[in-house]
Amino acid sequence: MVSLKDRFEELLEESVKTHGHLCPGQVLGVRMALYGLDLIGIMDPKGADRKKLYLFVEIDRCAT
């Protein structure tokens, strides 16, 4: 099984497609998301058994 950390580049590229371009906040945002998933024990966020998980975060600067 591939770890979340090993999927960083893949998930970052998906973020670029969604956001339209690459910015520093995306790198931080993807890393924060991976850390959060690890903390709650989700190893495959796109698994067939997954429902959509929404999280809202407020910060002073865009972390995409």
What is the distance between the alpha carbons of residues 5 and 34, in angstroms, rounded to a whole number?
Answer: 7
- Residue 16's pLDDT is what? 93
What is the distance between the alpha carbons of residues 11 and 2, in angstroms, rounded to a whole number?
Answer: 13
Structural domain including 21 reads 1-64
- 35, two tokens: 């850390």
pTM: 0.73
The tens digit of pLDDT for each residue in 31-44 reads 988 898 889 888 88
CB 5 within 8 A of CB 34: yes
Residue 9's CB is within 10 A of a number of other CB atoms, namely: 9
